[in-house]
Structure 1
């Protein structure tokens, strides 16, 4: 199965026994990004009673998980939210369920259902896209090769992140991991081996 991530942010609101449950979902490739999103929702809705959150960063065996009940009874909010999020198969995702208390106590079971259903509702609206693994290539070449190399790169899903013009031209290029060896072989052949290519990992 492909590693899927949300294409963009989504917001959904549910009402349960007069309480409002407003769920915000967003992409987050790093924990620091998830925490910044959580903080932004807190700042946006400072008068809410609770900001319950859950996040899944990464995919498969390399995931980082986080959750918080944010004042709700232990295990009634963050845990069901995270369970639903994990079950969705999405990675690099954060949800914040903001609750405005409506005056009616929901009880332990009611809270578990309300928070779980809130995350299910927002996931139903998410557009999923495949996360594509990318890497960086550092290319060093004589000036006469510069334009030709750029033309070859234009035929791939690539982006030139940096260009340095010294004794030679140095390009920092982000490409799909699946294309990296093809690009390297093509450019070495096209330049008769006069281009130097180094592989570096994305930060």
Structure 2
């Protein structure tokens, strides 16, 4: 894929998604950090329901430590892997207080040293909370990048590196959320919505869905909803 096609892809995605941002509800970098840690193998909707109860009660490292691990579990028990996440969050809050004065650090290395925080989570925090030009490759971005041929790779790190090299500079800040939202709602896993995709003519995916396939899938969705 050449540079001009990449530019057009991001130009169209930016037009189609005028407010590209996370769907995790938060008001501080710490709240975002907690939400992202909770979102692993969970939906943003499910995380938002849990944090809507948690954050009014505890939205600082001190307050979450005061809850304790068992107390925290009561707020997040609807989320996948909640026992492990509760344990990591409590440990993370201790480190934040002991090493960072309770503040969320602003470097990838410091973030990844926190319990429960990997490279993807660190990149989300750096991009969304601190406006740094990072790309966190989740399952949506990995799929979209490979499927469209924007950045092919066998690992998330390989895809991340290729996107860092090839995303047009003017779209780099929002590229992360543009690709996630496109993957979440249009370039979906099983039956991508190619007939209504704003970049279908630029995408190099060889197995695009047809109008008939798309129509049938929409009928099925309607049947399930009712």
TM-score using structure 2 length: 0.21
Larger radius of gyration: 1
Query: TM-score when scaled to structure 1?
Result: 0.23
Larger strand proportion of the pair? 1
- Greater share of helix: 2
